[in-house]
Structures are given as structure tokens and as C-alpha cells.
Homo-oligomer: A and B are copies of this chain.
Amino acid sequence: MPTNFADRLNIAVREKQSCTVVGIDPRLSQLPAPILERHPNAFGDLAVAADAYREFGCRIAELVAPLVPAVKPQIAFFERLGPAGMAAYADICAAARKLGLLVIADVKRSDIGSTAQAYSDAFLGPVDGGQAGFETDAVTVNAYLGSDGVRPFIEAAKANGKGLFILVRTSNPSAGEFQDLKHEGKVVFEHVAQKVKEWGKEVVGESGYSSVGAVVGATYPEEAAVLRALMPQTPFLVPGYGAQGGGAEDVRPSFNGDGLGAIVNASRSIIFAYSREPWKQKFGETEWEEAVVAATREMNEELKPLVS
């Protein structure tokens, strides 16, 4: 009997005393030299580039596994490399899960019901009785198509102990263009939040949280406070910390006061920490791994008051 995803997440947050999610978003030009040197021709050959991503992503997972509850590999960067990139993606997800990390596939998929079922199978399984094509613990989902496009993911959450995070308020500058349109006194993202809350009631775990979560950007703290009040049982996946500009104060409204309620993602500021201050000065490019660990520890420290 698989445990509820929200319960698994909350246990991991408590155990690690960390709400940090490390985003695995490789970009070829930013990979540290020691990785690139082992993969000559990575810039001209997608399969070689995918090998470099695989090594980098698996190493990131090893480095952060003792420190954080979850990683969030962003599939777009792997898709960019074609089929070889997708194979690397699957391998990194599998390696991270083997290390005891929860893996959130950042895929932002959306489609009509029968097609959404295929996406759900792909990441939340099972496929034909066996393992999913890309077995992970949770996915991000875009709900523009409404309930029938979300339903298969909810069913997988119930049947397989998986989770989903539905885009409510995204972290990007143009997020408000459609999300802020106002209908009967509530903006679109509040209407989405209302549905997320309803859908979530079906998959509430022993910790009181649902396996149907919400993506709520760190870059809009006021909206986060409104959403936190609206959806008390919904776990928030909070992107936008670090490179996108959000800080510890910006993510505070996403928490519930019980040390739970939100997990906070940082990608570039951790995985490429070696190329950014203060780590750049402290660690050389050959010590990129130490920089990853140091940046992760620092983020844990910054957010510690929120999880304890």
C-alpha cells in the first residue's frame, strides 16, 4: 500500500529539517569545466551533451540527498537535447529516487482527459502493469483545460501514492496577464486555487495535507498570503527563490506556521553556485561540488525558521 505523497513529503521535510527543493536545470554553457572536459564534443553532439547532463544531474542528486527532501528536474532542458536528453532525464530521476529523494518532475503538462491520462501514466505510472516510462513521485500540471485534464493525475495520486502541483500563481513577470483577470470579484488564479482545494480533498493524508499541491511563485508574496489562507491543506511548491529574485521573507507567507505547507525551489543559484558570488570567490570551478553543498546548506539555514 503506497503512502500518501503529502505524508511522504512532510516526513522528509521534518527528517531533513529542510524545505529546499533543488531544481536540476542543466544548461550546457554553464556546466562546470570538470564535467565538460569529460565530455568533449558536448557542444556539437546532442548525445554527448546528454551524457554530460546525466553525469551532472546524478552528481547533484548525490550531493544534496543528505540535505534536502526533494529535487525537481526540469524536463525542458533535457527535451532540448532530443531522445538522448530524455534518457538522461529518466536516469537522473531513477538515481535520485534510489538515493531516497522525492522527485518532482517539472513538466507542466496539460491536455484533454484521454491524453492527460497518457501523461499521468508517463510520470506517475504504472504503464501496462509495470513501471512508468519516467517514474517520479510528483508532477507539475497546467490546469487551463479544466477538471478533465487534471483528473488522471489525481487518480494516480490516489492509487499510486503520487502527487501533483497545479500551476496557480507562476513566478514569471507576465504571470498576471491571464492569471489576474477578474471574474466576480476573484482573479483567475483564485478560481484555479478554489478548484485545487476541492480536488485536493480526495487525497488528504494523515498529516492533514493533500497530495494535490499548488505552484505559487515566491515573486508574488502578497498573492501567496491570500492563497495560503484559501487553501490551508494544500502544499505549495514555491519557485522563484534565488536567481529569479525571491528571498526568505518572500516565501514566508506560503508556510502554515506548523513548519509545513511549502517547499521552496532553487535551481541556478544552487547547481551553478560555483559561478556566482559568494561561492565563486570561495570555490574554484573544480570545486563546483563543494559550492553546491555550501549553497544548499545556506538556503537551508535561511529557511530554517520556517520549518522548525
A residues lining the B interface (CB < 8 Å) = 25, 28, 43-44, 46, 49, 74, 76-77, 79-83, 85-87, 89-90, 108-113, 115-116, 118-119, 121-122, 127-130, 132-134, 142-149, 167, 170-179, 181-183, 188, 191-192, 195, 239, 244
Closest residue on chain B to residue A115 by CB atoms: B76
Q: How far is the CB of A1 from chain B (nearest CB, A)?
A: 24
Please give the distance in Å from A44's CB to the nearest CB on chain B: 7
A125 — nearest CB in chain B belongs to which residue? B80
Chain B residues near A167: list those with CB within 8 A: 110, 144-145
| Known contacts A111-B108, A183-B181: A133-B172 contact under CB 8 Å | no
Assembly CA distance A142 to B167 (angstroms):
12
Number of copies: 2
Q: A264: shortest Cβ distance to chain B, in Å?
A: 16
A141 to B111, CA, bound (A): 11
Residues of B within 8 A of A176 (CB): 146
> Is the beta-carbon distance between B122 and A80 smaller than 8 angstroms?
yes
Q: Is B191's CB under 8 angstroms from A174's CB?
A: no
Query: Contact: B172 with A112, CB < 8 Å?
Result: yes
B188 touches A174 (CB 8 A): no
Q: How far is the CA of A115 from the CA of B127 in the complex (A)?
A: 28
Question: Are B133 and A79 in contact (CB-based, < 8 A)?
Answer: yes
A122's partner among B76, B109, B183 (CB-CB below 8 A) is B76
Q: Flag if A144 contacts B147 (CB, 8 Å).
A: no
A164 to chain B, nearest CB (A): 15
Chain B residues whose CB sits within 8 angstroms of the CB of A170 once the complex forms: 112, 144-145
Closest B-chain residue to A27, C-beta based? Answer: B118
Nearest opposing residue in chain B for A182, CB measure: B183
Give the docked Cα–Cα distance between A297 and B80 (Å): 36
In the complex the two chains form, is B178's CB within 8 Å of A85's CB?
no
Measured CB to CB, the nearest residue on chain B to A174 is B146
In the complex, which residues of chain B have a beta carbon less than 8 angstroms from the beta carbon of A74? 111, 115, 118
When A119-B76, A172-B149, A182-B183 are in contact, do A83 and B81 touch as well, CB less than 8 Å? no
User: Is B44 a contact partner of A130 (Cβ separation < 8 A)?
Assistant: yes
Chain B residues closer than 8 Å to A244, beta-carbon distance: 112
Q: Which residues of B contact A191 (CB under 8 A)?
A: 178, 181
CA distance A195 to B76 in the complex (A): 24
State whether A113 and B172 are in contact (beta carbons under 8 Å apart), knowing that A82-B134, A83-B83, A147-B177 are contacts in the complex: yes
Inter-subunit contact A111/B46 (CB<8 Å)? no
Contacts of A147 in B (CB 8 A): 174, 177
- On whether the beta carbons of A109 and B112 are closer than 8 Å, the reply is no
Residue of B nearest to A186 (CB): B181
Contact of B83 with A122 in the complex, beta carbons under 8 Å: no
Q: How far is the CB of A97 from chain B (nearest CB, A)?
A: 14
